[in-house]
């Protein structure tokens, strides 16, 4: 499945890096085989260490909305780096970046920069607790908000249960304050508020889930969450690390007409560099140090090279034709994949919102973690391998969304669908 150069590199990596990778899903264990080591990227393509070219639908797990090595972003990075890569002091570019975020997202009156989506979500929820004086947060089974201890939690036997750690090393006492509900199920959230409403600081949600595959919200679900939070005095926190600036210039909150109290962002906002942010209501954000009692800090927060990449990316995304092109590409991929699977008599559900999508095998539709967990992961693994063999690089997990960029043009889409037609036949043959 992977080239000989990658195999040799992976053997070396496993001697010094746990599992040979610096983020678990990269290990390809969900699909078998060994990972492809990437040497470079340009536009819609990445090249393996042996020089093989692949059409890329990982896109660095979402950030590369403009394609790899976009000339404007690369120039912004190199120009900024020529003046130094980090100062640990305020810069004009941080101000420009904060202004750009607030201008794009009306729900954000103030913003704090950090370096990763994990940091953004962890900090936003600490802020929510500090602002409300409450201890508990509600998350949804199958939604991922980074690897902070209290967020590595899954549901127990029912939706209205106390959290159970989903990772070794997470103390039970830490997880106990995280309550887990069922995505797309308002009743499960209402039950939690009925039992613990006076101690729930916040509800955090991926507005379109990307961490159990692409799962859109049911009509009224996000609006219902906002109303429940308002009724019970909790903060509504929308995790737009994945969806922010990918589903439109105003993110998922603009697409679905919601106004969160706090928003977390990452991936696209950094233009491919480590940069993230969280922001929201002014009265809430003013509880952050140095103005308030909620502490949050970071040596590389607002890094001058990262903010240069982010600003260059956001400038490109202000062009309306960008999202029109992404939607056309997504629609063509969706229709073509549905047709190819049907032609091969392979049961799939192709789910897409804008420029993120997933092909689920063996199910009619996915609306929550329970239905996602019924997908045929073995069939997906066969399809993944068959696509990789034909030069298409997909996320190596049934439960990770795929992403396309503005550089995925009609020729790239047709090449992808040609590979998919053959790959579905391989799956049908077992």
Q: Which helix (H) or strand (E) holds 200?
A: strand 200-205
CA atoms lying within 13 Å on the CB side of residue 422 = 13
Find, among 321, 317, 351, the residue nearest to 334 by Cα.
Answer: 351
In the chain, helix, strand, coil percent, each to 5? 45, 20, 40
Find, among 264, 215, 225, 217, the residue nearest to 244 by Cα.
Answer: 264
How is residue 350 written in tokens? Answer: 């192709």
Does residue 50 carry a catalytic annotation? no
Does residue 231 carry a catalytic annotation? no
- Biggest distance spanned by C-alpha atoms of the chain: 63
| Cα dihedral: 269, 273, 274, 278 (round 10) | -10
Burial class (CB in 10 A: 0-12, 13-18, 19+), 50: middle
Find, among 349, 370, 346, 369, the residue nearest to 358 by Cα.
Answer: 349
Residue 40 phi, psi dihedral angles, 5° rounding: -165, 170
- Cα three-residue angle 290-234-110, rounded to 5 degrees: 35
Q: Are strands 262-265 and 235-240 parallel, antiparallel or unpaired?
A: parallel
| Cα dihedral: 89, 93, 96, 100 (round 10) | -110
Residues 279/251, Cβ–Cβ less than 8 Å: no
Contacts of 353 by beta carbon, 8 Å cutoff, 6+ apart = 208, 214, 216, 247, 255
Contacts of 339 by beta carbon, 8 Å cutoff, 6+ apart = none
- Among candidate residues 7, 139, 185, 239, the one labeled active-site is 239
User: What CA–CA distance (Å, rounded) separates 183 from 205?
Assistant: 8
Does residue 144 carry a catalytic annotation? yes
User: What CA–CA distance (Å, rounded) separates 256 from 322?
Assistant: 19
Instruction: Specify the residue for token string 């990269």.
Output: 26
- Among candidate residues 54, 256, 261, 267, the one labeled active-site is 267
- Among candidate residues 37, 144, 183, 256, the one labeled active-site is 144
User: What CA–CA distance (Å, rounded) separates 120 from 155?
Assistant: 23
Residues with a known catalytic role = 144, 239, 267
């Amino acid at each position: 499945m992977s080239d000989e150069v990658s195999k040799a590199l992976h053997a070396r990596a496993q001697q010094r890096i746990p599992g040979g990778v610096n983020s678990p899903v990269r290990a390809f264990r969900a699909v078998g085989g060994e990972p492809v080591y990437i040497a470079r990227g340009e536009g819609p393509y990445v090249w393996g260490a042996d020089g093989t070219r692949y059409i890329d639908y990982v896109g660095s797990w979402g950030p590369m909305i403009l394609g790899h090595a976009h000339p404007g972003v690369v120039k912004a990075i190199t120009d900024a780096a020529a003046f130094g890569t980090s100062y640990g002091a305020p810069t004009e570019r941080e101000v420009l970046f904060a202004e750009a975020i607030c201008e794009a997202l009306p729900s954000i009156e103030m913003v704090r920069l950090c370096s990763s989506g994990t940091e953004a979500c962890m900090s936003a929820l600490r802020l929510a607790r500090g602002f409300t004086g409450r201890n508990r947060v509600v998350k949804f089974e199958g939604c991922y908000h980074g690897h902070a201890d209290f967020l590595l939690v899954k549901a127990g036997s029912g939706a209205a249960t106390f959290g159970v750690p989903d990772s070794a090393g997470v103390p039970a006492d830490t997880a106990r304050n995280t309550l887990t509900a069922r995505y797309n199920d308002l009743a499960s959230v209402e039950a939690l508020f009925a039992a613990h409403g006076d101690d729930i600081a916040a509800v955090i949600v991926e507005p379109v889930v990307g961490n159990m595959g692409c799962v859109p919200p049911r009509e009224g679900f996000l609006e219902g969450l906002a109303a429940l939070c308002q009724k019970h005095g909790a903060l509504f926190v929308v995790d737009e690390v994945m969806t922010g600036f990918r589903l439109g210039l105003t993110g998922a909150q603009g697409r679905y007409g919601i106004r969160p109290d706090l928003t977390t962002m990452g991936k696209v906002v950094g233009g491919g560099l480590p940069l993230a942010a969280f922001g929201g209501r002014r009265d809430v954000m003013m509880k952050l140090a140095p103005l308030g009692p909620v502490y949050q800090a970071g040596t590389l927060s607002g890094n001058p090279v990262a903010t240069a990449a982010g600003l260059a990316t956001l400038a490109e995304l202000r062009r309306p034709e960008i999202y029109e092109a992404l939607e056309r590409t997504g629609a063509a991929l969706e229709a073509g994949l549905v047709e190819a699977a049907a032609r091969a008599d392979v049961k799939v559900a192709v789910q897409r919102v804008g420029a993120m999508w997933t092909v689920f095998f063996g199910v009619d539709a996915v609306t929550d973690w329970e239905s996602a967990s019924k997908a045929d992961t073995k069939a997906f693994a066969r399809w993944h391998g068959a696509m990789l063999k034909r030069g298409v690089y997909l996320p190596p997990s049934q439960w990770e969304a795929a992403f396309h960029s503005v550089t995925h043009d009609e020729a790239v889409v047709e090449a992808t669908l040609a590979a998919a037609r053959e790959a579905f036949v391989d799956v049908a043959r077992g």
